[in-house]
């Protein structure tokens, strides 16, 4: 019970700090709240006895726990991210704790009639009898990834308070701006000299993932021509209409709401516009690299088509790769997956090895030399008002971290 109580206390405190990242900001971190949380976590780690901990100018927290009697054990790392998604407000989060869940719909906000219903989210049935944490339905909760942060710190605290448990060198890192694809832009590898690491950023119990999407962002700018509508014939070029026309060119069956498993998609994140100017912001995703390239080429061809159709050539494109599928790295270092799998099995947790329909900091870190699969943190329904996490799943994630630390002693540098 003590571990669960500490997890709950930490998590409830963390989610009330607004750490939404902001893609429009050029600073690092992109929002000040992320650095506020990082410094709070620094003080908390110092209080539990971690002496090697720092927050750098970019908001990255690095901490190091030296080996005790296991000097030949390779260094291992655990990573979570500080920011929450910009897709929905993370300000003034009011977490609600629902003990001994009875399997019925959970009223998040009676006034606004916002209900978390197992008819819509069948995975709720797996949490009957457990403690479920939600927001009040007006914000996201922030389990992505403050659950992971709470689990890592609680595991480290357990080790610090039980010095008789032998372990090798352990590094932890909390990164800013993961949700906007910048989580390792300024990551200092010199402060994280590990053989391999794990992001604690997955969802349901037992999730173990070493495949991510290949990912790109596409921002499309449209220059219209505004003129009084009474005198518009043959002169007006309505940028909003052009935006709608462009979007209609994309395959309608390749949107997130129509895809699953290994199926990729185009996702329209934002459309802003007036008659004079409009912008569309997309993310492009596919596990298969060739299909990923084809999707990017499709966007480019659609831009060319629209510019040929309209002599003013009103379209311009900003296309950027964000990260790649880490599978090609992890498969060459598969012992890192087997280790996590063994840790789960020893705790009677069924490993569920699936592709992530998203990305993690581990995707880019894997290509930077640190094989880095992803492990469950417990949250579900990420990025929206129906996000929730079961406290018991958070406890199991913490136990998995500790078991990995134990089992890695069988490895040699």
Tell me if 397 sits within 8 A of 378, measured CB to CB: yes
Indicate if the pLDDT at residue 72 is higher than 90: no
Which CATH number among 3.40.50.300, 3.40.50.2300, 3.40.630.10, 1.10.10.10 corresponds to the domain 2-212+325-410?
3.40.630.10
What residue ranges of the chain are covered by domains with CATH 3.40.630.10? 2-212+325-410
Please name the helix (run of DSSP H) or strand (run of DSSP E) that holds residue 265, with its range, or none. Answer: strand 265-273
Strand partners, 173: 62, 79
d(CA 167, CA 160): 11
Tell me if 187 sits within 8 A of 54, measured CB to CB: no
Of the CA atoms within 13 Å of residue 255, those in its CB half-sphere come to 10
Question: What is the pLDDT confidence band of residue 348, given thresholds at 50, 70 and 90?
Answer: very high
Cα three-residue angle 198-200-201, rounded to 5 degrees: 125
- Average pLDDT (50-55) is 96
Buried b (16+ CB within 10 A) or exposed e, 341-356: bbbbeeeebebeebeb
pLDDT score recorded for residue 105: 97
CATH of domain 214-323: 3.30.70.360
Active centre residues (catalytic): 83, 178
Buried b (16+ CB within 10 A) or exposed e, 247-285: beebeeebeeeebeeebbbbebeeeebebbbbebbbbbb
- Average pLDDT (342-361) is 93
404: exposed, middle or buried (Cβ count in 10 Å: 0-12, 13-18, 19+): buried
d(CA 42, CA 37): 9
Tell me if 180 sits within 8 A of 34, measured CB to CB: no
pLDDT tens sequence across 110-163: 999 999 999 999 999 999 999 999 999 999 999 999 999 999 999 999 999 999
Question: What is the pLDDT confidence band of residue 1, given thresholds at 50, 70 and 90?
Answer: low
204: exposed, middle or buried (Cβ count in 10 Å: 0-12, 13-18, 19+): middle
How long is the chain?
A: 413
pTM for this one?
A: 0.89
- Average pLDDT (319-333) is 93
What residue ranges of the chain are covered by domains with CATH 3.30.70.360? 214-323
Q: In what order do the strands lie in the sheet with 277-286?
A: 265-273, 277-286, 214-223, 315-323
Tokens standing for residue 371: 């094989």
Indicate if the pLDDT at residue 359 is higher than 90: no
Q: Which residues contact 315 (CB under 8 A, 6 or more apart)?
A: 220, 221, 222, 242, 246, 303, 306, 307
d(CA 351, CA 370): 22
36: exposed, middle or buried (Cβ count in 10 Å: 0-12, 13-18, 19+): middle
pLDDT score recorded for residue 413: 63
- The helix/strand/coil state of 272 is strand
Tell me if 411 sits within 8 A of 351, measured CB to CB: no
125: exposed, middle or buried (Cβ count in 10 Å: 0-12, 13-18, 19+): exposed
């Amino acid at each position: 019970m003590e571990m669960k109580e500490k997890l709950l206390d930490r998590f409830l405190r963390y989610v009330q700090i607004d750490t939404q990242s902001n893609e429009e900001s050029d600073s690092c971190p992109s929002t000040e709240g992320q650095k506020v949380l990082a410094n709070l976590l620094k003080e908390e780690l110092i209080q539990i006895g971690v002496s090697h901990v720092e927050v750098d100018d970019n908001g990255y927290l690095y901490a190091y726990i030296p080996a005790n009697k296991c000097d030949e054990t390779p260094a291992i790392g655990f990573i979570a991210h500080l920011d929450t998604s910009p897709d929905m407000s993370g300000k003034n989060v009011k977490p609600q704790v629902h003990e001994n869940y009875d399997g019925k719909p959970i009223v998040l906000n009676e006034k606004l009639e916002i209900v978390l219903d197992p008819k819509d989210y069948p995975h709720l049935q797996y949490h009957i009898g457990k403690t479920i944490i939600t927001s009040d339905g007006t914000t996201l909760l922030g389990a992505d990834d403050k659950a992971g942060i709470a689990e890592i710190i609680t595991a480290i605290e357990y080790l610090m308070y039980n010095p008789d448990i032998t372990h090798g060198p352990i590094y932890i890192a909390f990164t800013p701006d993961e949700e906007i694809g910048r989580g390792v832009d300024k990551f200092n590898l010199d402060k994280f000299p590990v053989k391999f690491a794990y992001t604690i950023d997955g969802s349901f119990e037992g999730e173990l993932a070493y495949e991510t999407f290949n990912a790109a962002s596409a921002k499309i700018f449209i220059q219209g021509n505004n003129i009084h509508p009474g005198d518009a014939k043959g002169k007006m070029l309505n940028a909003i209409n052009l935006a709608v026309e462009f979007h209609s060119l994309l395959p309608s069956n390749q949107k997130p709401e129509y895809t699953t498993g290994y199926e990729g998609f185009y996702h329209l994140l934002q459309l802003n516009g007036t008659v004079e100017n409009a912008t569309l912001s997309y993310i492009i995703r596919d596990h298969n690299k060739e299909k990923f390239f084809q999707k990017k080429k499709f966007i480019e061809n659609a831009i060319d088509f629209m510019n040929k159709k309209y002599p003013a050539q009103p379209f311009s494109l900003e296309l950027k790769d964000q990260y790649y599928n880490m599978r090609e790295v992890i498969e060459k270092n598969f012992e890192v997956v087997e280790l996590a799998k063994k840790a789960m099995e020893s705790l009677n947790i069924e490993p569920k090895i699936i592709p992530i329909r998203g990305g993690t900091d581990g995707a880019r870190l894997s290509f930077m030399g640190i094989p880095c699969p992803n492990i469950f943190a417990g949250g579900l329904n990420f990025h929206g008002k129906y996000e929730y996490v079961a406290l018991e799943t958070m406890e199991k994630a913490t136990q998995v971290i500790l078991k990995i630390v134990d089992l890695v002693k069988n490895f040699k540098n």
